[in-house]
Amino acid sequence: MDRMDDEQLRKRKKTVNTLIGILRVAFQIAWENGKTDSERAWRCLRRIPAVDRPRVLHLSRVECRELLANCRPDLARLVLGALYTGCRVTELINMRCEDVGRDGYGVYVSPSKSFRPRFVFLPDEGMAWFLDLIKNRKPKDSVFMRDDGKPWYGNQKHLFKAAIRNTGLPDEFTFHGLRHTYASQLIQSGATVYAVGDQLGHADPAQVLRTYGHLAPQMREAEVRQRFTVVSSENDEIAQARYEELTRWRDSLHGGHWREYAKIVDVWDPERSLEWKRAPRAIPPYR
């Protein structure tokens, strides 16, 4: 254990907790079926505390575009599918053309890890892209195929690793990180944990909070900066005049590294609001 880094130790602890959970259920069933006379065996078996860690390794939109540029065409389609849906790689590989547009404006995802099917809604650009991808293809055809006509079966891993290295991204970033990128972007843009949880297929929204809770301070900051009604017009004008200075100072926080202090894109767009002149003034969008 002394030779493990924090992430390796976290994964080992999480595996132990999974096994403990299975043992607890086994002992409980044994007690319920009269195989043992005491509940002590499963009540005293406890999980290791505090092993969950927020997902901090996700990509910005600029990094996503750079990654796509370094992927070969068939891999780029798989990566783009993950960025549009937040699906696991196995879910994408198993997706059929008939699943696109089934039951709504998005894609149907067959049961996998959670053993529950779900429907993932898509943005307009994602819906148009998926419809073009399956055009003139048979309903049972796989949505994502290699350029040689063969299905993906795990051979995307070494290709994705090569694309990560060529893009200059952290070597520990895996394909599953695209799922975290999807969720992180939605949360930072103001989506509720319930909506994100449903999109990802999580039964409990608390899992979204545990996984992406580190983004909450950034969301709260964005809400305060956008929604706060002006108290002093004089101070507001001073703040507007010092916008560049405030932005530089804000960029320097937490070492100026966006992965530690997630980049916030303000959702308030004055050009789209008919009430702009009567609405509270907001700090211009952070870039």
Query: Is it the case that residue 110 has pLDDT exceeding 90?
Result: no
| pLDDT confidence of residue 153 | 83
Mean pLDDT comparison of 42-46, 140-144, 200-204, 219-223, highest-scoring range: 140-144
pLDDT of residue 276: 36
Q: Hey, where are the domains in the chain?
A: 6-43, 61-214, 228-272
| Res 30 pLDDT > 60 | yes
pLDDT of residue 254: 57
The pLDDT tens digits for 230-272 are 888 999 899 899 989 888 887 777 555 555 554 444 444 444 3
pLDDT at 282 over 70: no
pLDDT recorded at residue 97: 95
Q: What is the pTM of this model?
A: 0.68
- Residues 41, 31: contact at Cβ < 8 Å? yes
Which CATH superfamily does the domain covering 61-214 fall into?
Answer: Intergrase catalytic core (1.10.443.10)
Q: Could you give the percent of the chain with pLDDT greater than 90?
A: 38
Distances in Å between the alpha carbon of 246 and those of 22, 215, 240?
53, 21, 9
Distance in angstroms (rounded) separating the CA atoms of residues 167 and 60: 13
pLDDT at 136: 92
Residue 49's pLDDT is what?
A: 74
Write down the pLDDT at residue 201.
Answer: 86
Among 228, 214, 226, 227, CA closest to 261: 214
pLDDT at residue number 6 = 72
pLDDT tens digit string along 129-188?
Answer: 999 999 999 999 999 999 998 888 888 999 999 999 999 998 889 999 999 899 888 887
